[in-house]
Structure 1
Amino acid sequence: MSHQKILILDFGSQVTQLIARRVREAHVFCEVHPCDVTDDWIRAYAKDGNLKGVILSGSHASVYEDTTDKAPAAVFELGVPVLGICYGMQAMAHQLGGKVEGGHMREFGFADVRARGHTALLEGIADFTTPEGHGMLNVWMSHGDKVTEMPPGFKLMASTDSCPVAGMADEARRFYGVQFHPEVTHTRLGAAILQRFVLQICGTRADWVMGDYITEAVEKIRAQVGDEEVILGLSGGVDSSVAAALIHRAIGDQLTCVFVDHGLLRLNEGDMVMDMFVGKLHAKVVRVDAA
């Protein structure tokens, strides 16, 4: 089954995978890829028409440093909505003609953000309303630098006393940026904000659930492999173990796993790997004692 998808570009944030988790909880398929993919890669990724939006993750870096990663320019040329989170917003601002400067004090922890401008991203989303009628959000901040000048075409979407541009939006191009982290549970309505972006602004179908992934992956593997043989390096870690289990379910004895026991595993962990894959899954595993 072909799914519409969201692309998450990872700039190195510790919580990038949480962005993916929140998107998937909205039953939308997404993939995380490194931020340094090329413009050609971005265009090829979008070529099938299933890419509905892009999210730029946070980072520990500063956008104005020469060695810092930037978002591929093609991201802003695809015509799909883009959401920048923390550093992702700063990268968007910096690359589209705004200004980012180092802050005098790092902001880390809870903050009350005033939603402004009634943008499509934050319209009707608020934790509480002030006596003056201002919608407020309880969010989690983690940043040192901040946007001091928005790019042309952007308007103010959110602010705090210490961060005048805590959110910005160019609704004509459907570009949005937030300085806070909607993916963490500390931002109480963060999931609602991300769902608003992927489901309403991007218009992505909510047709992906994790429970169906195994069936889809098995069918895809069978079609790709056919009657060929597959060899897989099995370390016993999560990634190779999940890959081995999926491939074995798909093609059975056409798969041969090679487990190199290098002597650096936990006590008896090598035996546990063999017990799981040979004893329980009945997979073909060649164990190499390289201790």
Structure 2
Amino acid sequence: MIGWARTGLVLLCVVVASLVGIPLQILALRTGIPHPGTIPRLFHAMVRRLLGISVRVSGRPSGDRPLLLVANHVSWTDIVILSSLAPMSFVAKSDMATWPVFGLFAKLQRSVFVERERARTSHKQANELGERLAEGTVMVLFAEGTTSDGNIVLPFKSTLFGAAQAALASETGRRLDIRTVHIQPVTIAYTRLQGMPMGRFHRMHAAWIGDSDLVPHLGALIREGGMDVEVHFDEPIPFTARSKRKDVALEIEAIVRARMAGVLRNPR
């Protein structure tokens, strides 16, 4: 009974905040007042607290620009967590643009939608992502291309690391004489549930894998609450005209994989 009451209260708060925030964000995108990253950050900070997610942060997003954050991916809550920390936009799968509610939220946060299975489309969208990076927008790429169970890091796909190359070659990049894109590894690890270490089995509570139904997963998270998450920002890797995206993808993957293993062995 308490769980269902909590669910109703959380959903009511989110609906009210959305009805207020969506018109304000549309205004921000059209006028720049307030900054387009402000309302999404405040909204996600509120949602994070409503879900009972406690975040411990090590490091911080680099102040260097252009900046591409490359993270592992466990659940849709990764977006809530990262967005609550600083203004940023995301690289999202193309089908998300048609999702009810979540697709609208992604568009209002200026996500770049990509079709990873089509090489030509990916190249075109990498150029769009490159322009956004060159303009100074902090972009987040979940390089695994899908979600994991939270216990491991899946291999990183190098295709969209081409966005760094596109940023250097873009019209904006040439005009601003941009010679380096900073790619920062970010590790997201779900460590505790109700104050107790999760372990491999209970970490599945946080994970949203593949084509699993979103609504039951959302309901379970709201009813349970009380998750601890660690977010680690490691030092950025410089990407220049001489860099090879596959080599950089492997280097970033190794950093995130090692960080994840260390955190799960010894959570804070």
> Could you tell me the TM-score, scaled by structure 2's length?
0.27
Normalized per residue, the structure richer in helix is: 2
**Rg: which structure is higher?**
1
Higher RCO (C-alpha 8 Å, min separation 6): 2
